[in-house]
Amino acid sequence: MSFGLALTFGILYWFATNKLWYGWLHLTRQPLVLAVPIGLIMGNLEDAMKIAASLQLIYLGAIAPGGTLPSDEALASCIAIPLALAAGLEPEVATTLAVPVGLLGVLIDNIKRTYHSYFVHRADLAAAKGDTKGMGRNEFWYPLWCSLPLRIIPTTLALMFGTDAVAAFLEAIPAWATNGLTVAGGLLPALGFAVTIMVIGKKELIPYFILGFAVYAFSGINTIGLAVIGICIAFLQSQFAPRAQEGSLPPAAVEDDEGEEGDF
């Protein structure tokens, strides 16, 4: 891959993770979102979206407890999708390539957090002096520009030297190993669904999850129709569930409340 193209995707990775707009942070770093500019730049939007769909299933239910990334889906997308398009890899193999790259992104993010603590202390000193402009520079601008080399350099180098290395590696490994990678790539999306169920898997909501899956699998309704049905079910759930809970107080609790009011 050329230096200019690799640099472009490095800048894209920086843009997707620079947290300029917190409301859009989790949207801009998603594989399906990043696949659009990557596919357009490389002239293969269709395959880019297919690869991104496989990656998106892995990170579907990923959360960052305490702000700690379990995996960097933005770096995985900005490296795995271009490499897969350039080398002509199948989405399943590209998925297995994305997993270690995502873990590398966690290391990069930890490095960023470490040196960003320096600017926190500088912002505290500026706040003690009443220097609001100094606070703004140390809280936002200095960390933003210092993250440029940390985000762009690893991505650019990986893309410049990764295509030939990945292609040579795939040619050197035997067919049974390639088939194993394909099977592993097919299993990884199941982990994404499992994490999603763990996050939203309240016992009273599991039937809705199973119902939605069954309707999608056997009814032939498209995703837009299912989304409309899901919104209506969510609205009904939010309207009637609180009333059912209010009306489900045990008799003893009601009697105790009445007794306390009578004693008062």
Question: How would you write the chain as a 3-class SS string?
Answer: CCHHHHHHHHHHHHHHHCCCCHHHHHHHCCHHHHHHHHHHHHCCHHHHHHHHHHHHHHCCCCCCHHHCCCCCHHHHHHHHHHHHHHHCCCHHHHHHHHHHHHHHHHHHHHHHHHHHHHHHHHHHHHHHHCCHHHHHHHHHHHHHHHHHHHHHHHHHHHHHHHHHHHHHHHHHCCHHHHHHHHHHHHHHHHHHHHHHHHHHCCCCCHHHHHHHHHHHHHHCCCHHHHHHHHHHHHHHHHHHHHHHHHCCCCHHHHHHHHHHHHHC
Q: Give the residue-averaged pLDDT of 117-145.
A: 86
Q: Give the residue-averaged pLDDT of 110-138.
A: 84
What's residue 40's pLDDT? Answer: 92
What's residue 64's pLDDT? Answer: 58
Q: Report the percent of the chain where pLDDT is more than 70.
A: 70
Confidence label for 259 from pLDDT (cuts 50, 70 and 90): very low
Instruction: Convert 59-89 to b/e letters by CB count within 10 Å (16 or more is b).
Output: bbbbeeeeeebebbbbbbbbbbbbbbbbbeb
Confidence label for 191 from pLDDT (cuts 50, 70 and 90): low
Please state the pTM of the whole predicted model: 0.59
CB burial class (10 A; 0-12, 13-18, 19+) of residue 147? buried
Residue 250 has pLDDT above 70, yes or no: no
What's residue 183's pLDDT? Answer: 63
Q: Report the percent of the chain where pLDDT is more than 90.
A: 1
Over the stretch 85-115, which tens digit does the pLDDT of each residue have?
A: 887 777 777 777 777 777 777 777 777 777 7
> Quick count: other Cβ atoms within 10 Å of Cβ 90?
16
Using CA atoms, how far apart are residues 100 and 166, in angstroms rounded to an integer? 13
Q: Give the residue-averaged pLDDT of 181-199.
A: 62
